[in-house]
Amino acid sequence: MSNPTIDNIRRSLGRTSQTPLSPRPTIYPPRQAESLDSEVERFLDEIKKLSGIGQKLSPADIVSAMGSLVTQQDIRRATAWETPYLRQLGVTEMLNSLGVELVSPKASKHDMALCDLGITEADYLLAETGTLVLKSSAQQPRAVSLLPRIHLAMVRTELLRADMHQVFSETKENHYLVFITGPSRTADIELTVTLGVHGPRNLYVWVIEN
């Protein structure tokens, strides 16, 4: 019994039911990580290619960098994950000292969308594509990275992974992951790339050196 849908696909591909299957595509071996310095540089370079802004910072540089970000981007309202690492860095104290209004990461979507800045960590980093991988949970609400107009990720070098296979292997028990590769973008209208339509217009990534 023939299937009209399959028959249409075959015709569009110039094939018949008797056409032999094509050879299976080559399966490449998993990517191998290079030196840590090389991986960090590649990660930051990929972020730059994607219209993001990435840099390495020492803990002593964070206060100055936060002040510059708040001033340059006119940050008035912000929200941040309440994770042990961000508390250790003193993120909320920095924002308070700069006169930024803080919104709870558990606030409504409407309130989150009115924030100028959302600050998160990342759970994994993929140097090959400049991708941030974030686990979603009650402690790490995904809206913080998706709704404010600017997303700042404060990350550590030990989060770098060689490739996506390694990430999936380590996250078998996680049912929801957010993959972020550059600022939000779309080309729905006349194939013109536009930033910030479906999420943050700007992505900042600070790699905090130990």
Asked whether the predicted pLDDT for residue 3 surpasses 90, the reply is no
pLDDT at site 119: 98
Question: Scanning the structure block, which residue is given the tokens 């039911």?
Answer: 17
Residue type, 206: W
| Residues 205 and 52: beta-carbon distance below 8 Å | yes
- Token code pair at residue 170: 């380590």
- Please give the average per-residue pLDDT across 178-192, as a whole number: 71
Q: What integer best gives the mean pLDDT of the chain?
A: 90
Cite the DSSP H helix spans in the chain: 4-13, 36-49, 62-72, 84-89, 91-97, 109-113, 143-146, 164-170
Checking if the pLDDT of 204 tops 90, the result is yes
Could you tell me the sign of the dihedral formed by the alpha carbons of 175, 178, 179, 185, in that order?
positive
Contact 207, 54 (CB under 8 A): yes
Contact (CB, 8 A) for 115 and 95: no
Tell me which residue of 56, 52, 31 sits closest to 151, measured CA to CA: 52
Are 177 and 146 spatial neighbours (Cβ–Cβ below 8 Å)? no
For residue 160, pLDDT over 60 is answered with: yes
pLDDT band at 17, cuts 50/70/90?
confident
* pLDDT score recorded for residue 191: 54
pLDDT tens track for 111-125: 999 999 999 999 999
Predicted confidence at residue 20, as pLDDT, reads 86
Q: Tens digit of pLDDT for each residue in 57-106?
A: 999 999 999 999 999 999 999 999 999 999 999 999 999 999 999 999 99
DSSP code, position 32 = P
What is the per-residue pLDDT for 76?
97
Q: Which stretch of DSSP H or E encloses residue 55? A: strand 53-57
Residue 156 pLDDT greater than 80, yes or no: yes
Of 12-16, 137-141, 191-195, give the range with the top mean pLDDT: 137-141
